[in-house]
Structure 1
């Protein structure tokens, strides 16, 4: 296998570890110049669909939410994201790593998720500057959907 093929497989594996599935419609919120382009491309490769933006006017299977401390209230952002999801959808919350501009304490993420009615199911590093947290809606948690 070539180095390029290895890299592509590694990227799509990361998308799968975050809980994205082939065929999903993924709505991206909070995109800016600081986001991890490799992760965005990996999600598109793995799902087989392009990410849709804030203007998308239907429900999504998943929300990719880039969020920094200066972006406002995390609980409000999560509640808004829930409103964009199908019944058993999931949110992939991406926040800057420790020491990076916009860093958010893990306890603040847990509290915001709980307040919004979400379950935090997984946290992983998704790049040089970002951590990802997979958050499930109550319906998704009950059905065991990842």
Structure 2
């Protein structure tokens, strides 16, 4: 496997940390004026334009910006699963502790399994955001 762009100089880009590759379709949900534009640009540079939640395409990844007060997390995760490919990933981005809209980790750990997802890792997604990687458990079948 060859090094992807951004790794050659030893620095991993956000697109590397998020596992985004050229040609992937990435859907964005929960966009607002507080999102991390550097992260969005890095991901769009790697895969092309981010699609919105009205897309008819099957998507490889979902970027879900979620803040306390944005509605029911379970419902939003369920909505994110609709267009997601069987091997797709939901990246749940939440404000870091101490930031406006911070989401308690317990809310994620309760909502994700109820929606049929499990958290596999967490990454630093910028100055104000943390991202949880959520996937369907291996062997789970979509109905």
TM-score range, shorter chain: 0.7 to 0.9
Shift of 1:142: 4.6
Residue in structure 2 matched with residue 21 of structure 1 by the alignment:
21
* Structure 2 Cα separation of the partners of residues 56 and 29 of structure 1: 11
- 1:94 aligned counterpart, secondary structure: strand
Residue in structure 1 matched with residue 71 of structure 2 by the alignment:
72
The CA RMSD over aligned residues, in Å, is 2.1
Q: Please list the CA deviations of residues 20-55 of structure 1 after superposition, one character each: whole Å capped at 9, or x if unmatched.
A: 2221100100001000000001111222x1101122
Q: TM-score normalized by structure 1?
A: 0.83
Say whether the 8 Å CA contact 1:18–1:122 is kept in structure 2. Answer: no
Unaligned runs of 5+ in 2: 1-5
Q: TM-score normalized by structure 2?
A: 0.85
What pairs up with 1:40-119 in 2 under 5 angstroms? 40-47=40-47, 49-119=48-118
Matched residues, number: 134
Counterpart check, 1:126 vs 2:131: no
Say whether the 8 Å CA contact 1:16–1:46 is kept in structure 2. Answer: no
Q: Which has the higher helix share?
A: 1
Say whether the 8 Å CA contact 1:90–1:134 is kept in structure 2. Answer: yes
* Structure 1 Cα separation of the partners of residues 83 and 139 of structure 2: 19
* Structure 2 Cα separation of the partners of residues 91 and 28 of structure 1: 10
Unaligned runs of 5+ in 1: none
